[in-house]
Structure 1
Amino acid sequence: MNVSGDTLFLGGCGRFFEGNAQQMHNALITVLSNLPDATKVFCGHEYTLQNLKYAAHVEPDNEDVKSKIAWAEEKRAQQLPTVPSSIGEEKSYNPFMRVNSPSVQQFAGKNNPVETMKAIRDAKDNFKG
Protein backbone atom coordinates (compact mmCIF):
# COMPACT_ATOMS: atom_id res chain seq x y z
CA MET A 1 0.00 0.00 0.00
CA ASN A 2 1.24 3.52 -0.81
CA VAL A 3 0.18 6.77 0.88
CA SER A 4 0.13 10.14 -0.87
CA GLY A 5 -1.12 13.64 -0.20
CA ASP A 6 -0.39 16.78 1.81
CA THR A 7 -0.91 15.10 5.16
CA LEU A 8 2.40 13.31 5.70
CA PHE A 9 5.73 14.56 4.40
CA LEU A 10 9.12 13.00 5.02
CA GLY A 11 9.88 14.29 8.52
CA GLY A 12 6.84 16.56 8.69
CA CYS A 13 3.16 17.14 8.00
CA GLY A 14 1.00 19.59 6.12
CA ARG A 15 -0.27 22.86 7.53
CA PHE A 16 -3.71 23.04 9.10
CA PHE A 17 -5.28 25.23 6.40
CA GLU A 18 -8.73 23.66 6.40
CA GLY A 19 -8.35 21.17 9.22
CA ASN A 20 -7.23 21.18 12.82
CA ALA A 21 -4.93 19.37 15.22
CA GLN A 22 -7.53 16.74 16.09
CA GLN A 23 -8.01 15.84 12.43
CA MET A 24 -4.26 15.69 11.78
CA HIS A 25 -3.78 13.56 14.89
CA ASN A 26 -6.45 11.20 13.63
CA ALA A 27 -4.86 11.02 10.17
CA LEU A 28 -1.28 10.54 11.35
CA ILE A 29 -1.67 8.60 14.58
CA THR A 30 -4.94 6.71 14.30
CA VAL A 31 -4.80 5.90 10.58
CA LEU A 32 -1.30 6.12 9.10
CA SER A 33 0.66 4.97 12.16
CA ASN A 34 -1.36 1.77 12.16
CA LEU A 35 -0.38 0.85 8.61
CA PRO A 36 2.40 -1.75 8.28
CA ASP A 37 5.81 -0.19 8.99
CA ALA A 38 6.98 -1.14 5.48
CA THR A 39 4.26 1.00 3.84
CA LYS A 40 6.00 3.42 1.47
CA VAL A 41 5.26 7.14 1.79
CA PHE A 42 5.52 9.17 -1.42
CA CYS A 43 5.00 12.84 -0.63
CA GLY A 44 4.61 15.40 -3.39
CA HIS A 45 7.19 17.97 -2.22
CA GLU A 46 10.89 17.87 -1.37
CA TYR A 47 10.76 19.45 2.09
CA THR A 48 12.85 16.75 3.75
CA LEU A 49 15.85 18.74 5.01
CA GLN A 50 13.72 21.62 6.23
CA ASN A 51 11.41 19.18 8.04
CA LEU A 52 14.29 17.22 9.55
CA LYS A 53 15.96 20.40 10.82
CA TYR A 54 12.75 21.17 12.66
CA ALA A 55 12.60 17.58 13.94
CA ALA A 56 16.14 18.05 15.33
CA HIS A 57 14.98 21.27 16.98
CA VAL A 58 12.12 19.39 18.65
CA GLU A 59 14.21 16.34 19.60
CA PRO A 60 17.91 17.28 19.55
CA ASP A 61 18.92 13.93 21.08
CA ASN A 62 17.01 11.75 18.59
CA GLU A 63 19.71 9.71 16.83
CA ASP A 64 17.27 8.66 14.08
CA VAL A 65 16.78 12.33 13.18
CA LYS A 66 20.53 12.93 13.08
CA SER A 67 21.11 9.90 10.85
CA LYS A 68 18.30 10.83 8.51
CA ILE A 69 19.64 14.39 8.15
CA ALA A 70 23.07 13.05 7.14
CA TRP A 71 21.43 10.64 4.68
CA ALA A 72 19.22 13.39 3.19
CA GLU A 73 22.14 15.81 2.83
CA GLU A 74 24.07 13.14 0.93
CA LYS A 75 21.11 12.43 -1.36
CA ARG A 76 20.51 16.12 -2.09
CA ALA A 77 24.24 16.72 -2.73
CA GLN A 78 23.93 14.07 -5.45
CA GLN A 79 20.76 15.80 -6.71
CA LEU A 80 18.74 12.71 -5.79
CA PRO A 81 15.29 12.72 -4.18
CA THR A 82 14.80 11.75 -0.55
CA VAL A 83 11.39 10.24 -1.26
CA PRO A 84 10.02 7.70 -0.48
CA SER A 85 10.23 6.95 3.20
CA SER A 86 8.18 4.41 5.13
CA ILE A 87 5.68 4.54 7.96
CA GLY A 88 8.17 2.78 10.21
CA GLU A 89 10.87 5.34 9.48
CA GLU A 90 8.49 8.26 10.01
CA LYS A 91 7.53 6.91 13.43
CA SER A 92 11.20 7.08 14.45
CA TYR A 93 11.99 10.69 13.47
CA ASN A 94 8.89 12.64 12.42
CA PRO A 95 7.77 14.70 15.44
CA PHE A 96 4.20 14.84 14.13
CA MET A 97 4.04 11.05 14.31
CA ARG A 98 5.71 11.12 17.74
CA VAL A 99 3.22 13.30 19.65
CA ASN A 100 2.86 10.53 22.24
CA SER A 101 6.62 10.64 22.93
CA PRO A 102 7.61 12.29 26.22
CA SER A 103 10.42 14.24 24.52
CA VAL A 104 8.06 15.75 21.93
CA GLN A 105 5.46 16.55 24.60
CA GLN A 106 8.18 18.15 26.73
CA PHE A 107 9.22 20.37 23.80
CA ALA A 108 5.58 21.37 23.32
CA GLY A 109 4.96 21.91 27.02
CA LYS A 110 1.89 19.68 26.74
CA ASN A 111 0.94 16.23 28.01
CA ASN A 112 -1.91 15.60 25.58
CA PRO A 113 -1.07 14.29 22.08
CA VAL A 114 -3.62 16.50 20.26
CA GLU A 115 -2.47 19.62 22.12
CA THR A 116 1.11 18.57 21.37
CA MET A 117 0.21 18.27 17.66
CA LYS A 118 -1.19 21.80 17.66
CA ALA A 119 1.75 23.26 19.58
CA ILE A 120 4.44 21.70 17.40
CA ARG A 121 2.61 22.63 14.17
CA ASP A 122 2.27 26.23 15.38
CA ALA A 123 5.98 26.25 16.24
CA LYS A 124 6.87 24.75 12.83
CA ASP A 125 4.87 27.45 11.05
CA ASN A 126 7.25 30.03 12.54
CA PHE A 127 10.46 27.95 12.45
CA LYS A 128 13.37 29.63 10.68
CA GLY A 129 15.97 26.86 11.20
Structure 2
Amino acid sequence: MIVEQFLCRSDNIALLLHDKASKDSIAVDAPDGPALLTALQKAGRRLAAVLVTHHHHDHTEGLALLKRATGAKIFGPALEAAQISPLDTGLQNEQKFTCGAFSFEVIATPGHTLGEICYYLPQQKLVFTGDCLFSLGCGRIFEGDAAMMYHSLQKLAALPPQTQIYCGHEYSAANARFALTIEPHNPALQQRAAEIRALRAAGKITLPATLSRELAANPFLRCDSAEIRTNLACAADETDVQLFARLRQLKDRFR
Protein backbone atom coordinates (compact mmCIF):
# COMPACT_ATOMS: atom_id res chain seq x y z
CA MET A 1 0.00 0.00 0.00
CA ILE A 2 1.06 3.55 -0.76
CA VAL A 3 -0.65 6.27 1.29
CA GLU A 4 -1.02 9.58 -0.52
CA GLN A 5 -2.06 12.60 1.52
CA PHE A 6 -2.55 16.25 0.68
CA LEU A 7 -4.13 19.31 2.24
CA CYS A 8 -7.51 20.57 1.11
CA ARG A 9 -10.23 22.95 2.30
CA SER A 10 -8.58 24.98 5.07
CA ASP A 11 -6.81 22.28 7.08
CA ASN A 12 -8.30 18.90 6.10
CA ILE A 13 -6.00 16.11 5.03
CA ALA A 14 -7.25 14.10 2.05
CA LEU A 15 -6.11 10.47 2.12
CA LEU A 16 -5.83 7.98 -0.72
CA LEU A 17 -4.67 4.40 -0.20
CA HIS A 18 -3.17 3.01 -3.40
CA ASP A 19 -2.91 -0.72 -4.04
CA LYS A 20 0.49 -1.21 -5.65
CA ALA A 21 -0.66 -4.46 -7.31
CA SER A 22 -3.58 -2.86 -9.14
CA LYS A 23 -4.98 0.49 -10.25
CA ASP A 24 -7.49 0.57 -7.40
CA SER A 25 -7.46 3.17 -4.63
CA ILE A 26 -9.44 3.81 -1.45
CA ALA A 27 -10.21 7.23 0.01
CA VAL A 28 -10.52 7.80 3.73
CA ASP A 29 -13.29 10.40 4.05
CA ALA A 30 -14.28 12.77 1.27
CA PRO A 31 -13.47 16.33 2.32
CA ASP A 32 -13.06 17.63 -1.25
CA GLY A 33 -14.50 15.63 -4.13
CA PRO A 34 -12.93 17.58 -7.02
CA ALA A 35 -9.48 17.52 -5.39
CA LEU A 36 -9.68 13.77 -4.84
CA LEU A 37 -10.79 13.16 -8.43
CA THR A 38 -7.92 15.29 -9.70
CA ALA A 39 -5.43 13.34 -7.57
CA LEU A 40 -6.81 10.03 -8.83
CA GLN A 41 -6.70 11.16 -12.46
CA LYS A 42 -3.13 12.40 -12.07
CA ALA A 43 -2.08 9.05 -10.60
CA GLY A 44 -4.00 7.10 -13.24
CA ARG A 45 -6.02 5.24 -10.64
CA ARG A 46 -9.62 4.08 -10.07
CA LEU A 47 -11.50 4.83 -6.84
CA ALA A 48 -12.90 1.57 -5.49
CA ALA A 49 -14.22 2.73 -2.11
CA VAL A 50 -14.52 5.55 0.38
CA LEU A 51 -14.16 4.81 4.11
CA VAL A 52 -16.04 7.45 6.11
CA THR A 53 -15.01 8.06 9.73
CA HIS A 54 -17.93 10.27 10.82
CA HIS A 55 -20.76 12.41 9.50
CA HIS A 56 -19.33 15.92 9.74
CA HIS A 57 -19.67 17.95 6.54
CA ASP A 58 -15.95 18.50 6.09
CA HIS A 59 -15.48 14.72 5.90
CA THR A 60 -18.46 13.85 3.70
CA GLU A 61 -19.02 16.79 1.33
CA GLY A 62 -17.42 15.01 -1.62
CA LEU A 63 -19.28 11.72 -1.28
CA ALA A 64 -22.06 12.39 -3.78
CA LEU A 65 -19.64 13.60 -6.46
CA LEU A 66 -17.28 10.66 -5.94
CA LYS A 67 -20.18 8.19 -6.09
CA ARG A 68 -21.49 9.70 -9.34
CA ALA A 69 -18.08 9.96 -10.96
CA THR A 70 -16.61 6.61 -9.95
CA GLY A 71 -19.31 4.32 -8.57
CA ALA A 72 -17.11 3.73 -5.54
CA LYS A 73 -18.61 1.79 -2.65
CA ILE A 74 -19.18 3.95 0.43
CA PHE A 75 -18.48 2.46 3.86
CA GLY A 76 -19.16 4.27 7.13
CA PRO A 77 -20.42 4.02 10.70
CA ALA A 78 -23.78 2.27 10.93
CA LEU A 79 -24.70 4.50 13.87
CA GLU A 80 -24.54 7.54 11.60
CA ALA A 81 -26.16 6.01 8.52
CA ALA A 82 -29.01 8.53 8.59
CA GLN A 83 -26.48 11.38 8.48
CA ILE A 84 -24.21 10.04 5.72
CA SER A 85 -25.42 9.95 2.14
CA PRO A 86 -24.77 8.01 0.04
CA LEU A 87 -23.81 5.05 2.26
CA ASP A 88 -23.65 1.50 0.91
CA THR A 89 -22.39 -0.41 3.95
CA GLY A 90 -22.77 0.47 7.62
CA LEU A 91 -20.01 -0.79 9.90
CA GLN A 92 -20.07 -1.80 13.56
CA ASN A 93 -17.43 -1.83 16.29
CA GLU A 94 -14.86 -4.62 15.92
CA GLN A 95 -16.24 -5.57 12.50
CA LYS A 96 -13.66 -6.95 10.10
CA PHE A 97 -14.05 -6.42 6.37
CA THR A 98 -12.04 -6.64 3.18
CA CYS A 99 -11.85 -3.80 0.70
CA GLY A 100 -9.88 -4.60 -2.40
CA ALA A 101 -6.65 -6.26 -1.33
CA PHE A 102 -6.74 -4.92 2.21
CA SER A 103 -8.24 -6.22 5.45
CA PHE A 104 -9.60 -3.63 7.88
CA GLU A 105 -10.81 -3.72 11.47
CA VAL A 106 -13.34 -1.19 12.75
CA ILE A 107 -12.66 0.54 16.06
CA ALA A 108 -15.60 2.51 17.44
CA THR A 109 -14.28 5.77 18.89
CA PRO A 110 -17.27 7.86 20.05
CA GLY A 111 -16.73 11.28 21.56
CA HIS A 112 -16.18 13.73 18.74
CA THR A 113 -19.40 12.31 17.31
CA LEU A 114 -21.40 9.45 18.80
CA GLY A 115 -20.77 7.12 15.88
CA GLU A 116 -17.20 7.92 14.81
CA ILE A 117 -15.10 4.93 13.79
CA CYS A 118 -11.43 4.42 13.01
CA TYR A 119 -10.04 2.06 10.40
CA TYR A 120 -7.16 -0.21 11.43
CA LEU A 121 -5.06 -2.32 9.08
CA PRO A 122 -3.33 -4.86 11.34
CA GLN A 123 -1.11 -6.27 8.61
CA GLN A 124 0.25 -2.87 7.57
CA LYS A 125 0.13 -1.44 11.13
CA LEU A 126 -1.76 1.66 10.00
CA VAL A 127 -4.76 3.37 11.60
CA PHE A 128 -6.92 6.14 10.17
CA THR A 129 -8.31 8.11 13.08
CA GLY A 130 -10.48 10.81 11.51
CA ASP A 131 -11.11 13.46 14.15
CA CYS A 132 -10.52 11.25 17.19
CA LEU A 133 -6.74 11.20 17.63
CA PHE A 134 -4.43 13.84 16.17
CA SER A 135 -0.70 14.17 16.56
CA LEU A 136 -0.20 15.74 20.01
CA GLY A 137 -3.95 16.25 20.34
CA CYS A 138 -7.44 14.83 20.08
CA GLY A 139 -10.75 15.94 18.64
CA ARG A 140 -13.20 18.29 20.27
CA ILE A 141 -16.05 16.60 22.13
CA PHE A 142 -19.20 17.62 20.27
CA GLU A 143 -21.65 14.77 20.82
CA GLY A 144 -20.17 12.54 23.51
CA ASP A 145 -18.60 13.27 26.86
CA ALA A 146 -15.09 13.27 28.30
CA ALA A 147 -15.28 9.72 29.62
CA MET A 148 -16.42 8.46 26.23
CA MET A 149 -13.60 10.23 24.41
CA TYR A 150 -11.00 9.15 26.96
CA HIS A 151 -11.94 5.49 26.56
CA SER A 152 -11.93 5.84 22.77
CA LEU A 153 -8.38 7.16 22.90
CA GLN A 154 -7.38 4.32 25.20
CA LYS A 155 -8.52 1.84 22.55
CA LEU A 156 -6.17 3.46 20.06
CA ALA A 157 -3.38 3.66 22.64
CA ALA A 158 -3.59 -0.14 23.02
CA LEU A 159 -2.64 -0.77 19.38
CA PRO A 160 0.91 -1.97 18.64
CA PRO A 161 3.38 0.86 19.37
CA GLN A 162 4.76 0.83 15.81
CA THR A 163 1.32 1.67 14.39
CA GLN A 164 1.36 4.66 12.04
CA ILE A 165 -1.42 7.20 12.67
CA TYR A 166 -3.10 9.15 9.88
CA CYS A 167 -5.76 11.68 10.85
CA GLY A 168 -8.19 14.06 9.18
CA HIS A 169 -6.67 17.50 9.88
CA GLU A 170 -3.31 19.24 10.00
CA TYR A 171 -3.51 20.49 13.58
CA SER A 172 -0.06 19.39 14.76
CA ALA A 173 1.53 22.84 15.13
CA ALA A 174 -1.28 24.24 17.27
CA ASN A 175 -1.40 21.01 19.27
CA ALA A 176 2.33 21.23 19.92
CA ARG A 177 2.05 24.79 21.21
CA PHE A 178 -0.65 23.72 23.65
CA ALA A 179 1.15 20.55 24.72
CA LEU A 180 4.29 22.52 25.59
CA THR A 181 2.28 24.59 28.07
CA ILE A 182 1.14 21.38 29.77
CA GLU A 183 4.34 19.31 29.87
CA PRO A 184 7.18 21.68 28.87
CA HIS A 185 10.04 19.54 30.22
CA ASN A 186 9.11 16.39 28.28
CA PRO A 187 12.06 15.72 25.89
CA ALA A 188 9.95 13.55 23.58
CA LEU A 189 7.46 16.38 23.23
CA GLN A 190 10.21 18.94 22.66
CA GLN A 191 11.67 16.78 19.89
CA ARG A 192 8.32 16.19 18.20
CA ALA A 193 7.40 19.89 18.42
CA ALA A 194 10.69 20.86 16.74
CA GLU A 195 10.09 18.28 14.01
CA ILE A 196 6.58 19.63 13.42
CA ARG A 197 7.87 23.20 13.13
CA ALA A 198 10.47 22.10 10.56
CA LEU A 199 7.96 20.10 8.51
CA ARG A 200 5.42 22.90 8.40
CA ALA A 201 8.11 25.46 7.54
CA ALA A 202 8.98 23.23 4.57
CA GLY A 203 5.31 23.02 3.56
CA LYS A 204 5.08 19.34 4.45
CA ILE A 205 2.35 17.41 6.27
CA THR A 206 3.31 16.28 9.77
CA LEU A 207 1.65 12.87 9.51
CA PRO A 208 1.91 9.95 9.89
CA ALA A 209 2.80 9.89 13.55
CA THR A 210 3.99 6.73 15.26
CA LEU A 211 1.84 5.62 18.19
CA SER A 212 4.91 5.05 20.39
CA ARG A 213 5.93 8.69 19.92
CA GLU A 214 2.39 9.88 20.63
CA LEU A 215 2.31 7.87 23.85
CA ALA A 216 5.53 9.65 24.84
CA ALA A 217 4.43 13.17 23.87
CA ASN A 218 0.67 13.62 23.44
CA PRO A 219 -0.78 15.05 26.69
CA PHE A 220 -4.20 13.51 25.98
CA LEU A 221 -2.58 10.07 26.16
CA ARG A 222 -0.49 10.96 29.23
CA CYS A 223 -2.93 11.56 32.07
CA ASP A 224 -0.61 9.54 34.33
CA SER A 225 2.29 11.98 33.75
CA ALA A 226 3.68 13.31 37.05
CA GLU A 227 4.69 16.59 35.38
CA ILE A 228 1.23 17.16 33.94
CA ARG A 229 -0.43 16.36 37.26
CA THR A 230 1.91 18.72 39.11
CA ASN A 231 1.52 21.54 36.58
CA LEU A 232 -2.28 21.30 36.72
CA ALA A 233 -2.32 20.97 40.52
CA CYS A 234 -4.28 17.73 40.42
CA ALA A 235 -5.87 16.54 43.62
CA ALA A 236 -4.59 13.21 44.91
CA ASP A 237 -7.87 11.52 44.06
CA GLU A 238 -8.35 13.13 40.63
CA THR A 239 -8.91 10.37 38.11
CA ASP A 240 -7.37 10.16 34.66
CA VAL A 241 -10.81 10.80 33.14
CA GLN A 242 -11.28 13.94 35.26
CA LEU A 243 -7.83 15.20 34.26
CA PHE A 244 -8.55 14.43 30.61
CA ALA A 245 -11.74 16.48 30.83
CA ARG A 246 -9.78 19.42 32.22
CA LEU A 247 -7.15 19.10 29.48
CA ARG A 248 -9.84 19.13 26.79
CA GLN A 249 -11.46 22.22 28.33
CA LEU A 250 -8.07 23.98 28.46
CA LYS A 251 -7.40 23.12 24.82
CA ASP A 252 -10.86 24.37 23.80
CA ARG A 253 -9.93 27.81 25.21
CA PHE A 254 -6.31 27.81 24.01
CA ARG A 255 -5.28 30.40 21.44
| Matched residue SS, 1:75 | helix
Alignment match of 2:140 (pick from 3, 12, 15) = 15
Other-structure match for 1:3: 128
TM-score of the pair, normalised by structure 1: 0.93
| Matched residue SS, 2:184 | coil
Are 1:116 and 2:240 an aligned pair?
A: no
How many angstroms does 1:101 deviate by?
Answer: 1.6
8 Å CA contact 1:104, 1:116 repeated in 2: no
TM-superposition CA deviations, 1:97-117 (whole Å, max 9, x none): 001222222333333100000
Letter of the aligned partner of 1:117 in structure 2?
Answer: F
* The structure with more helix, counted as a fraction of residues: 1
TM-score of the pair, normalised by structure 2: 0.48
State the superposition RMSD in angstroms. Answer: 1.1
- Which 4+ stretches in 1 moved above 6 angstroms? none
8 Å CA contact 1:10, 1:85 repeated in 2: yes
* The structure with more strand, counted as a fraction of residues: 2
Aligned residues: 127
List gaps (5 residues or longer) in structure 2: 1-120, 122-126
Alignment match of 2:195 (pick from 46, 57, 71) = 71
Q: Percent identity of the aligned residues?
A: 35
Whose Rg is larger? Answer: 2
Other-structure match for 1:85: 209
Q: How does 1:31-50 map to 2 (within 5 A)?
A: 31-50=155-174
List gaps (5 residues or longer) in structure 1: none
8 Å CA contact 1:11, 1:90 repeated in 2: yes
